[in-house]
Amino acid sequence: MVTEMTHWERVRAALKGECIDRLPISMWRHFFTRETSADLLAEAMLGFQNRFDWDFMKVNPRASYHVEDWGVKTAYDGDISPRVAETPVKTPDDWLRLKVLDVNQGVLKEHLTSLELIAHGLKGELPFIMTMFTPLSIAGWLTGSEELFLQHLREHTAEVNHALEVITETFSNFAKACLERGVSGLFYATTAWATTNRLTEKEYLTFARPYDLRLLNTLPTAEFHVLHVCREQNLLRAVKDYPVHAFSWNPQGKGNPSLAEGKAMVGGRTVIGGITQDKSLVEATPIQLATGIEGMRVAMGDKGWMLGPGCTFPPETPEANLQAIRDAVTEGSQSGTPS
């Protein structure tokens, strides 16, 4: 039996595939009414951590933070996902107008300030990782629709490539600044694009992979970079060799590998997932969730993976369900299941 570990010890052991006292766990969601300022975002993240004592924090900023300094505007209406109200790219020539941003100005600076506040609040007691989209994903936010972006990407590749160069340089600088503020790594998300519902594997390797890798390979040493491969029919196989410490995806998604299949695909590196993030999480009973987690532990064992959602989970999820998920890993470790 392994003696009780700290959050950091548990996460580090899981990343190395070593014995642990129990499964590491984290959950993440948006707090839409509190993500519009550095102070409120930090308060929301720290409050959620204090309530559930997760093993690591995935900072969940507003998704549009990546592109607001280039002219994207969003409209908020209560505690629901905001609406994109304005985008700067309407014609192919608009891509050529993008300039490298100063990360110490505007919305990017605001989010660096939030990270400083979070780091101060956590006091180094657990890892925390900053959500950042891949360059192709960020570019996709600059148009009015995914369909228009896909058209520009395929028919006006040179113009989009100019923007991808600008975006990669900007967010390489931003990622370094995040690490300087104390984050343990990136939660590097592909959003709509690493899926055959949008791109072929050949297209992803051509349009996205070079920029993904350029950004990752410019970063200083960190302990906990996570690649999150979004959506159904995902292209995990196309990114399986990325220089990250762990991989995250929705194993329940149509056409996606199971956690065990994905773990084999990425060469045995650590995987994160297992909890559904859709309406079934909202509607399930605590007992159903606990039973499902125990089944995953039996199938996966307790080494080389962490429990988490397949993506950001709905804000309306009952706290009782989150508490049941959190309790399940502690109770499972006390039941005598080997670690």
> CATH number for the 7-334 domain, one of 3.40.50.1100, 3.40.140.10, 3.20.20.210, 3.40.640.10?
3.20.20.210
Per the structure block, which two tokens stand in for 312?
């950001």
Per the CB < 8 A criterion, the answer to whether 287 and 3 are in contact is: no
Per the CB < 8 A criterion, the answer to whether 82 and 32 are in contact is: yes
Q: Which residues contact 290 (CB under 8 A, 6 or more apart)?
A: 324, 325, 327, 328, 331
Q: Which residues are paired to 75 by β-bridges? A: 83
Alpha carbon of 250 to those of 237, 272, 273, 311: distances in Å?
14, 9, 7, 7
Q: What is the pLDDT along the chain (339 residues), one digit of tens a residue?
A: 689 999 999 999 999 999 999 999 999 999 999 999 999 999 999 999 999 999 999 999 999 999 999 999 999 988 889 999 999 999 999 999 999 999 999 999 999 999 999 999 999 999 999 999 999 999 999 999 999 999 999 999 999 999 999 999 999 999 999 999 999 999 999 999 999 999 999 999 999 999 999 999 999 999 999 999 999 999 999 999 999 999 999 999 999 999 999 999 999 999 999 998 888 999 999 999 999 999 999 889 889 999 999 999 999 999 999 999 999 998 866 554 444
User: pTM, whole model, 2 decimals?
Assistant: 0.96
**Residue 332, pLDDT score:** 65
Residue positions counted in the chain: 339
Domain boundaries, given as residue ranges, for the chain: 7-334
